[in-house]
C-alpha cells in the first residue's frame, strides 16, 4: 500500500478532492493484488448497501479457489449483480401491463448502451436531449394510461445533483424536449431528488434479455476501472461533487460532528455520516431540496471517492501504463489529467492522432 505520495489531485483539482480520494484509501496501480483488494472493498460496500452481499460472497469464495484468485473480482461481482438484479424485489403494479414493462426495459437498456458508447468522456452525469437517444427515450405504452411513456423520470428542477434544468415548457407525455438526466456515477441513486433509502435505479424492471439495472451498474463501475476512469473528463465529476457538497450542506450542517452527539444521534464524521447504537438505514435529514438518507449519502460519497482514488493511482504511474491507457490520457479533454501525468509518449500519441 502506498504510504506517502505526492498530492496529485490537490495540485490541480484541489485539496477537497484529494481528501475525498483519501476516503477510499490509496493503492499501487501496478500491483494486481492491491488492485484486487481495492475492487473487493468497493464491491463489498456496494453489496452490503444494496442487499446482495450473499451473492458477492459466493462469487468471492468461488474465485479464491482458482489459479488467478481475486484478480477476476470485478467480472465476477458484475455477474453476481446481474443475477441478483434480474429478480423483482417488490410486487409489480397491475396497472402496468407486462407488454409495457418489456417495452420500457428494452428502451432503458438501449438508451444506456448508447450512452455508454457515445459519452465515454462524460459518463458520470448524463444530461442529454431525448431526441439524441434511441426512440427518443420513450416506449410504447400499449393499453396502459397511467404511465407517461418516458423511459426515465423527468428531473429538471434543482436538486442534490444539479442546478435548475427546467425549460420554459413543461414536459408532457408527447414533449420529448426535456433532457434525460441521470447520475450514472452514483448508480443506483440516479436522481438527485430521490435520495431516500430505496434507490430508484433498482426499480428499473428487467425483461430478459433486457436488464437496464445491470447495464447501468456496468457503466457506473467502469468509472473505477483504469480505462473507463482515464477516459472520463474528471472536471465534470469535480463540478458535480462540489454541487453535491453545497446542496447536502443544507441538510447536514446542523448535525453535530463526531465525537460530539449522543447515542443514537446522526453525526458527521469526516465526509460521511455515522450513528452509534442505531441504524443508518433509518436515519437521514431534511432540507429545502428534499430528504437525504444517511445510507444514500455515504454510498454516494464513497462512489465519488473511489473514482478519484483510481484517478490518483493511475496518474501517478502514467508513464508506465500500457499504450491503450496512455492513449486514453492523451485523448482525454480533462486538462488536469494531462498536466498531472505530463507523459511525453501520451503527448506524441495526441499529436499524431494515433
> Are the C-beta atoms of 122 and 236 separated by less than 8 Å?
yes
| Nearby residues of 346 by Cβ (< 8 Å), 6 or more positions away | 318, 326, 327, 329, 330, 338
C-alpha cell at 219: 457503466
pLDDT at 11: 85
Bridge partners (DSSP) of residue 195 are 292
Spatial separation of the C-alpha atoms in residues 304 and 240, rounded to whole Å: 9
Break the chain into its structural domains and give their ranges.
Answer: 24-85, 93-307, 322-354
> Are the C-beta atoms of 180 and 133 separated by less than 8 Å?
yes
187: closest CA among 200, 177, 198? 200
Which position has the grid cell 465526509? 271
253: closest CA among 228, 282, 285, 279? 285
pLDDT at 348: 58
Bridge partners (DSSP) of residue 290 are 287
Phi-psi bin for 69: left (phi > 0), alpha (psi -120 to 50), beta? left
Asked whether residue 66 carries a pLDDT value surpassing 90, the answer given is no
pLDDT in tens, 220-266: 999 999 999 999 999 999 999 999 999 999 999 999 998 876 777 89
Asked whether residue 168 carries a pLDDT value surpassing 60, the answer given is no
Burial class, 344, CB count within 10 angstroms (exposed 0-12 / middle 13-18 / buried 19+): exposed
169 three-state secondary structure: coil
80: closest CA among 205, 209, 214, 201? 214
| Residue 142: Cβ within 10 Å count | 16
| Residue 100: Cβ within 10 Å count | 20
Q: How confident is the model at residue 56 (pLDDT cuts 50, 70, 90)?
A: very high
Asked whether residue 317 carries a pLDDT value surpassing 50, the answer given is yes
Spatial separation of the C-alpha atoms in residues 101 and 142, rounded to whole Å: 10
Asked whether residue 325 carries a pLDDT value surpassing 50, the answer given is yes
Amino acid at each position: 500500500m502506498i504510504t506517502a505520495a505526492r498530492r496529485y489531485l490537490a495540485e490541480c483539482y484541489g485539496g477537497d478532492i484529494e481528501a475525498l480520494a483519501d476516503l477510499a484509501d490509496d493503492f499501487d496501480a501496478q500491483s494486481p493484488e492491491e488492485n484486487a483488494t481495492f475492487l473487493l472493498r468497493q464491491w463489498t460496500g456496494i453489496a452490503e448497501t444494496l442487499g446482495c452481499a450473499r451473492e458477492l460472497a459466493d462469487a468471492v469464495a468461488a474465485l479464491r479457489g482458482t489459479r488467478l484468485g481475486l484478480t477476476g473480482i470485478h467480472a465476477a461481482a458484475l455477474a453476481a449483480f446481474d443475477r441478483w438484479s434480474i429478480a423483482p424485489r417488490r410486487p409489480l403494479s397491475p396497472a402496468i401491463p407486462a407488454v409495457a414493462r418489456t417495452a420500457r426495459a428494452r428502451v432503458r437498456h438501449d438508451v444506456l448502451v448508447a450512452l455508454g458508447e457515445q459519452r465515454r468522456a462524460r459518463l458520470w452525469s448524463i444530461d442529454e436531449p431525448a431526441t439524441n437517444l434511441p426512440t427518443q427515450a420513450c416506449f410504447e405504452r400499449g393499453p396502459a394510461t397511467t404511465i407517461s411513456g418516458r423511459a426515465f423520470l423527468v428531473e429538471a428542477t434543482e436538486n442534490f445533483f444539479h442546478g435548475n434544468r427546467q425549460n420554459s415548457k413543461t414536459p408532457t407525455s408527447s414533449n420529448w424536449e426535456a433532457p434525460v438526466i441521470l447520475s450514472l456515477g452514483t448508480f443506483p441513486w440516479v436522481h438527485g431528488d430521490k435520495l431516500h433509502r430505496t434507490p430508484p435505479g433498482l426499480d428499473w424492471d428487467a425483461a430478459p434479455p433486457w436488464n437496464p439495472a445491470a447495464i447501468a451498474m456496468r457503466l457506473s463501475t467502469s468509472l473505477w476501472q483504469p480505462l473507463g476512469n482515464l477516459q472520463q473528463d474528471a472536471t465534470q465529476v469535480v463540478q458535480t461533487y462540489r454541487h453535491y457538497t453545497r446542496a447536502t450542506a443544507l441538510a447536514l450542517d446542523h448535525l453535530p460532528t463526531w465525537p460530539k452527539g449522543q447515542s443514537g444521534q446522526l453525526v458527521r464524521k469526516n465526509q460521511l455520516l455515522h450513528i452509534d447504537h442505531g441504524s443508518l438505514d433509518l436515519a437521514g435529514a431534511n432540507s429545502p431540496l428534499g430528504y437525504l438518507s444517511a445510507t444514500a449519502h455515504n454510498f454516494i460519497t464513497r462512489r465519488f471517492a473511489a473514482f478519484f482514488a483510481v484517478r490518483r493511482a493511475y496518474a501517478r504511474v502514467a508513464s508506465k501504463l500500457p499504450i491503450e491507457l496512455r492513449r486514453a490520457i492523451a485523448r482525454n479533454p480533462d486538462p488536469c489529467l494531462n498536466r498531472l501525468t505530463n507523459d511525453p509518449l501520451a503527448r506524441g500519441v495526441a499529436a499524431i492522432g494515433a
